[in-house]
Structure 1
Amino acid sequence: MRLLAQLLSLLFRGTALMLGLVGAGMALVCLGGAFSDRLDAFTHAAPLWLAMAVGAVVLGGVCARGAERWVMVSLGGIGLLACTILMAPELWAAARFKPATVAQSDLKVVQFNVWHDNRSPEKSLAWILAQDADVVVIEEGAGESWPIVKALRANYPFASCGKGARCETWIFSRKKMIARGGATFEGPYLSAAWATLADAKGPFTVIGVHYTWPVPAGPQQAQGRKLARLASGFDRKSMILAGDFNSTPWSFTLKRQDETLGLRRWTRAMASWPAGRFSRIMAAPAPFLPIDHVYAGEQWRAVKVERGPAVGSDHRPIVVTFRRQ
């Protein structure tokens, strides 16, 4: 029995040391993302490094003694501090948001990557239609999710993609589209759609985008620059931007994008991926990465921001209700 207790103690202490070394090391590497896009790729996993740091503090504090305990707790503390630097501003912004009562005249926007391998497109479609949104922005509208697109075209009078065309990113609207298009100029491929909508308070433009993954470093940052050029052609004060950015808010890439766009990001620390069964062998009980985002210009104020359920896609949908000021 004593031998078993010693073996368990050794296991827990070894685990604490491993968690402390990896958590602190990777969290410090993430801070280098301020200068390197390659290092910035590690910042997206900040919740994992944070969990490791907490594990090192708890296990080290309980199972170790003397100098060994202080080493493990100190390593965990370093990881906690670095993760706090990365994540605290986003968490603080999320805590400060104060929802308001929704009015009939408000604009309801749904952002949803419906996933080309959607497990149950009929559930996704039923959920979208139940929202009765004014604007729906979807990504990966092909493959198994094509029936969703077909049904939305039948239920919404205006779509950003012409009849007969197969687009990956779509905007559907109940408001009349004065103009529409996509990212067509030279540069890195960017799945994007835009539409200028008629409104009693003046026309406004909605842009939908879908970024590539953050690894390898470089292509996602180039897509961000292309989006900035696209957005510069419209009135940003009345603009709404939504999409799957495949980028977390504690990454320096997204922080720089927030500054460049000059729009307010209303989705704060709202995890949207992964959802449900996101691969053939893996399922997620809850999302932990906020990678779907909704921005708006200064003429808009969000009165409600919420996350939808898992309905077949590997992403949770996002619903933002705006009031034009």
Structure 2
Amino acid sequence: MKIVLVVLALLLVIATALPLLRFDQWWIRVFDFPRAQITIAGLALLALYLYFWKARRVYESVVLALLVLAVGYQAVKMFPYTVLMPKQVLAAESRSDDTDLSLLVANVLMENRDSEAFLDVVREYDPDVIMAVETDEWWEEALRTLEQRYPHTLKSPLGNTYGMLVYSRLEMIDPEIRFILKDSIPSMHLQAVLPSSDRVFMHFLHPDPPNPKYATETTERDAELLIVGREVEKRDKPTIIAGDFNDVAWSYTTNLFQKTSGLLDPRVGRGMYSTFNAKNPLLRWQLDHVFHSDHFKLVRMERGPAWGSDHFPIFIELSLESGAEAEAEQEEPDTNRTEGEKVDEKIEDGKEHKDE
């Protein structure tokens, strides 16, 4: 029994330590994801350690200490996504139909064919803008009824699980489909015009996951996120970046992206809002994200219901604040010199990887 516990504890320590290596191989980066699962397993192992072992050998004590460090590290990384952390985005004190913007982000699971269930979700939340990913030609046809209420669209349906459809009842300015690093992976970029005539820059992304089936390295995924982050870095205009990032909020890359872009995460101080896997409660983490500039405060954010996809949808409603009040009250993140150099390096690596 002792040797089994030692081996299991060492495996959890290794799983915790691997993401600290700044390598892009998928089998390393994938350990960014299951922090909650590693923490729970680690706590269970700690309890077994304390229950079974009254006297320990030196190596057993060393393994126990490493396990405590691993569990503590995982807890620290998850702590911002608990209600114990101060909120990064403040709650809106008032709201106005003229300056509020609501968004529904949903990965539909391409082979899923229950479009009516998804339309029920849309009807329930009635968002201003809908972003749907993993949408092929079948989904484009099935969702065409949305165009009665959402006349402004931007579409790139694809049969490779990277199709994307955007529907808006707000006017779109300069809508653009870009293929940032891969000709098979689109991203959507536009300005949405609020009833107040204010414009909001919106960027929708869905890069490769760290998975040997799709990408054996995360080089291009990381670079795509950081390229868009750099694009909005000096804008100082109302901005939202959302999508299925195929990365978690507490990863090194997403942390760099947030600092580079200067955008805020409304989940900080509120919860994890884990969206994947909707079909497996034991393996669940955040893959779908909404980041926004400090021009906004939060009206409401919800993880939507399970409806047939392997992702839960995310709904968010934001209030565009007048003047500089929200910007003064909400501190935007920023990179230091070392982090800025790392961003440059990762972007350059992604571009070189594209050319190979």
Determine if the TM-score, normalized by the shorter chain, exceeds 0.5: yes
Match for residue 240 of structure 1? 240
Offset at 1:76? 2.4
- Is the contact made by 1:121 and 1:147 (CA closer than 8 Å) also made in structure 2? no
Counting only pairs closer than 5 Å after superposition, residues 1-325 of structure 1 correspond to structure 2 as 10=1, 13-32=2-21, 35-38=22-25, 39-67=28-56, 70-71=61-62, 73-91=64-82, 96=87, 99=91, 103=95, 105=97, 106-142=100-136, 145-161=139-155, 166=157, 168-184=163-179, 187-189=181-183, 190-199=185-194, 200-215=196-211, 216-217=216-217, 218-228=219-229, 231=232, 235-268=235-268, 269-276=272-279, 284-285=280-281, 288-325=284-321
Cα deviations by residue, 1:240-283 (Å, 9 ceiling, x for unpaired): 1110001011210111111111211224422000112xxxxxxx
Cα deviations by residue, 1:267-324 (Å, 9 ceiling, x for unpaired): 4422000112xxxxxxx13662111000111211112111001101110000111001
Partners in 1 of 2:85 and 2:142 — Cα distance? 31
Q: Which structure exhibits the higher relative contact order, with contacts defined as CA atoms closer than 8 Å and separated by 6 or more residues? A: 2
Gaps of 5+ in 2: 322-356
The amino acid of 1:182's aligned partner reads I
RMSD: 2.7
The amino acid of 1:305's aligned partner reads M
Change (3 A) 1:316 1:287: farther
Offset at 1:229? 5.6
Q: What percentage of aligned pairs have identical amino acids?
A: 21
Partners in 1 of 2:208 and 2:135 — Cα distance? 15
The amino acid of 1:80's aligned partner reads V
- Is the contact made by 2:109 and 2:311 (CA closer than 8 Å) also made in structure 1? yes
Partners in 2 of 1:272 and 1:198 — Cα distance? 28
* TM-score of the aligned structures, taking structure 1 as reference length: 0.82
Change (3 A) 1:313 1:145: farther
* TM-score of the aligned structures, taking structure 2 as reference length: 0.75
Aligned residues: 300
- Is the contact made by 2:96 and 2:319 (CA closer than 8 Å) also made in structure 1? no
Offset at 1:155? 3.1
SS at match of 1:256: helix
Partners in 2 of 1:49 and 1:145 — Cα distance? 36
- Is the contact made by 2:190 and 2:202 (CA closer than 8 Å) also made in structure 1? yes
